[in-house]
Structure 1
Amino acid sequence: MIEFLEAIRDFTETGGQVLLVIGLLIFVMWLLILERAMYLMVWHKKAKSEAVASWTARSDRSSWFAKQVRQKTISQLTMRLNGSIPIIQSLVALCPLLGLMGTVTGMIEVFDVMAIAGSGNARSMASGVSKATIPTMAGMVGALSGVFAATWLNRTVKSERTHLEDALVIQR
């Protein structure tokens, strides 16, 4: 376990301070993704069954007022379904931007080394190059994984809304 933590520390040192921010951002993003997945798989089913039971218990399911109640119920459950998805999408968009910021800070370090030691010293420029490329890679990996998860969440929310609309049938 200690070796694993040392490997992570070495990796973050070669990637610079921006890599820590990217790592924190990816951690928060995946916590929110897991929270949404848990909501969809556990708590939404209970809320949906309560809404369907409440709708079927109504004696009036065909008037204008009943249609408005149905629409309100669908809207409330959809808002709960969407929850933190916009935040997740924002974090996904921030990942490559922070990776780009890591690229810029790493290149600044390369230019500083070139100004001091000259362009012939490749070994001293290597740390700046790694600080330029590692955050970019981390930002892209975080963004790609988040895009797949956010797409799955959006597709599942749309499907659940359709199922809810089908479950709350209007009597004619």
Structure 2
Amino acid sequence: MLIAVNKPMNMLSQFTSEGGWPALDQLGLPKGVYAAGRLDRDSEGLLLLTDDGSLQARISSPKYKSPKVYYALVEGIPDEEALARLRAGVPLKDGKTAPCEAETAETPDWIWDRDPPVRVRKSITDTWLRLTLTEGRNRQVRRMCAAVGFPVIRLVRFSIGPHDITGLAPGEWRDVTTQT
């Protein structure tokens, strides 16, 4: 079984609540499924869950280079130099990231209002970036964007491989077993 979940902001990518934060057990998911990879508590969007250990490994292992598309709302307006640095790979404390696709994007037409809302500051323009990565280090998108001078204020994973969150509101899920 393979389940696509649109993980809401401030929910843990596990089935046990911790530190007062809600967990996946509140979403009415089928028994016996586990996250293939994870999303940080403060990130939103697609999380895949499965009851198949080998499928879980294929989805989450960097050796399979499954593309993951993220939309990051950043402070400021990244110039071509910053985008080129993201595309080439960014040196981080745990090593240089793999090359990725990076471009500015319009506000996605599928994006939902966030709860809590993003803090808006009149003096700083926000820009959406669309990034496609093939690795998944801890807080990688946030660290990459910060390294080129554009801190992330909202992060949404749109897709992993052929699976995406189209039509799923935050907290909703669907069985995508037949789509693999």
* TM-score of the alignment, normalized to the shorter chain, above 0.5: no
Higher strand proportion: 2
Query: How would you bin the TM-score normalised by the shorter chain?
Result: under 0.3
